[in-house]
Amino acid sequence: MAYGMRVWGADGALQLDENSFTVRVILSTPVTFVNAKSSQDFPVPGVGPANGAAIVIPLGEYDANQKQFETEMLDGVARVYNHTRGFASSTVATGTMLLIVMRFN
């Protein structure tokens, strides 16, 4: 190692070094859909399919009947759908989930 930083754990294992990439949170926000088949856009400047990901996760425990939303990472925008896009007869999901946009580099 010519320069940089390394971190070892209590077990002696190297955890982070000069070749590591980490995961930075760009946006973390609840998203709510009530009824109609639709989508919502969230601007995330500088993040796109090449360097990031948008995920939706339950906000904790959830009802067995609840259905999850779906995401699409575009250049500068995270889009959340309450249905399966490209599938005309998709059912519709309602409720609130947590949108997380992450950036890797």
Partner 1 sequence: MQYGLQFVNNSNSVVVDSEFARLCVIENGRYSPNVTNGYGALVTFARVVTSQNPPLVFVRPDTVTGVAQLGGMRVIGGPGNWTGFYVSTYNTIGFPPNGKYFVGSFGGQSVASYGMRLWDSNAQVLFDSGTVCASFTRSFQNWTYLFYELGPQGEYRNFYSVDFNFPAGEYLLINNFGMNMCSGGPVSRALYNWWDFSANKLYAVTIAYANPYAFYLPAVFAKIAV
Point out which residues bind partner 1 (CB under 8 A).
4-5, 7, 9-10, 13-25, 28, 49, 53-62, 65-68, 70-73, 82-87, 89-93, 97-98, 100, 102, 104-105
Q: Which is nearer to partner 1, 43 or 49 (CB)?
A: 49
d(CA 55, CA 88): 22
Nearest to 54 by CA among 35, 36, 34, 75: 75
Q: CB of residue 6 vs partner 1: minimum separation in angstroms?
A: 8
Give the β-pairing of 24-33 and 70-74.
unpaired
| Angle 97-85-60 from CA coordinates, rounded to 5° | 15
Q: Which is nearer to partner 1, 16 or 77 (CB)?
A: 16
Q: Which is nearer to partner 1, 67 or 77 (CB)?
A: 67
Q: Which is nearer to partner 1, 44 or 71 (CB)?
A: 71
Q: CB of residue 61 vs partner 1: minimum separation in angstroms?
A: 6
26 burial level (CB within 10 Å; 0-12, 13-18, 19+): middle
